[in-house]
Chain A
Amino acid sequence: MKAVITVIGKDMVGILAKVSGTCAERNANVLEVNQSVLQEYFAMVMLIDISALTCSLEQLKTDLDKNVEGMTIHVMHEDIFNSMHRI
């Protein structure tokens, strides 16, 4: 089982560190990271393995919101993307 974390907002030091740190705390394995900074905006899409997650996906989102302040964060199960974009 995989999930997608997206983080969008004003760029600052330590975003990736905080996101991956939070994932590590909850035993989510980072599989792939795609990030870019356009002007001062930071955008990142991270694919994580949640098979051995020690909390609910909802809790992980709450943790991220708390640890990475001021950014718009989505945590969504990969099924939604698979079902919408693949036949």
Chain B
Amino acid sequence: MLNMNDILETITMIQEENLDIRTITMGISLLDCADSDAEKACDKIHKKIYSKAKDLVKTGDSIEKKYGIPIVNKRISVTPVSMLMAASGGDPLKYALTLDRAAKDVGVNFIGGYSALVHKGFSSGDLELIRSIPEALSETEFVCSSVNVGSTKSGINMDAVKLMGKVIKDTSLLTKDRQCIGAAKLVVFCNAPEDNPFMAGAFHGPGEPDCIINVGVSGPGVVRAALSKMNANEDLNAVSDTIKKTAFRITRMGQLVGTEASSALGVPFGIIDLSLAPTPAIGDSVAHILEEIGLEKCGGWGTTAALAMLNDAVKKGGVMASGNVGGLSGAFIPVTEDAGMISAARSGALSLEKLEAMTAVCSVGLDMIIIPGDTPEEVISAMIADEAAIGMVNSKTTAVRVILAIGSREGDELDFGGLLGKGPVMKVNRYSPAKMISRGGRIPAPMQSLKN
């Protein structure tokens, strides 16, 4: 028999503590849409996406009603478009516009995969695609883009790193009338996962099946609420245990929703991404969990240790709750999407350097950070290189998603609205890395890559 307390606990989690399924993402392979004629390829792409995903939003909504659990986003990830570009050549922008139209037609709120994987070097189509990113992101509404510039196995492609500094700047410039929002839809990765359901970095890797459902769960508010009910003198073992138990419950719900969606759509179930993804809503913040653990303000000393424990406990709890765990699976720390991070950045408690340290122990990287509009390209490139190095050496995913606030200076604010949030322009160390960045070439793969 169901226990009354369990029922009320679940309802409180959903009603008061912002528990939700953050995203159901359908991964669709576009490899069979490749054509030497770009027009034909685009037709095939639209047809395939429409036929696979036409019921995605409807199915998500009906599961939401059946279980009474909000499913916030329905999204699509596709094969990196640079692979289709390799077959057709020509103007990559056509592909971006096709993806945008397909996303609109099926009603999803983002489509990811305007991407290139160049961690060892550029192949046919990659450079054209990367160079077209600023224009593609400024002319589309739903398209998200990502570029993988490094991996533990292959090292870091510093030519790509150099190029991405300019791409991020140009993307911000082209969308300067819209709060520079283009750059919020562009992620530069090291060790990019092929099955990540979270935007803006989602793409459908070449090793994935034809079509698949991946689910991203979320619940920073639930974790925080569970910790707030603890006694202040309980030790960190107990804190970690509480986080584990909470993560288990959250993930079980994700597993249920994923299984249900996959059977309703007739598409295999891929993975659950166990991430704690914050939103700007009050009570849905990862920073506030760290503060609940016992920090005065996120960003002070102790933040990295608290985050490391949180990240690990979330995985330990979640992994038992699901048959297949994948994607990024860890705590996210996107500054503008997290009420606690925004407040810490405003007050000066949280610096870019501290965020860099935090990225070494949690998933993703320097995420949703607003930097001054006049930051030199090579400084952005060097920021990407540093993050990629952390990912490469620690065999983990790292990424950079920074937004240049064109025409703004340190202390000003940008407001993107919705889930992307808002935040202050943060201070950037301006000592020049220009000479190193201009060298180009490749940082060789580290010893960690030699595991065979």
Contacts and interface: CB of A to CB of B under 8 A. Distances in A.
Q: Do A and B interact? A: yes
Contacts, number: 56
Interface string A4-26: 10100000000000000000000
A61 B64 CA distance: 13
A35 B85 CA distance: 63
Contacts of A34: 4
A84 B65 contact: no
B2 A47 contact: yes
Nearest to B260: A79
A65 interface: no
Nearest to A61: B65
Contacts of B214: none
A61 B67 CA distance: 12
Interface residues of B, number: 21
B255 A83 contact: yes
Contacts of A40: none
Point out which of A34, A45, A85 has the most chain B C-beta atoms below 10 A from its C-beta: A85
Interface in B20-78: 62, 65-69
A6 B256 contact: no
Interface in A44-87: 45, 47, 57-58, 61, 74-85
B11 interface: yes
Given A57-B66, A76-B68, A77-B66, A85 B6 contact: yes
Contact of A57 (B9, B11, B65, B252): B65
Interface of B: 1-4, 6-11, 62, 65-69, 249, 252-253, 255-256
Q: 6 nearest interchain CB pairs?
A: A76-B68, A85-B6, A80-B67, A83-B256, A58-B65, A83-B252
Interface of A: 4, 6, 32, 34, 45, 47, 57-58, 61, 74-85
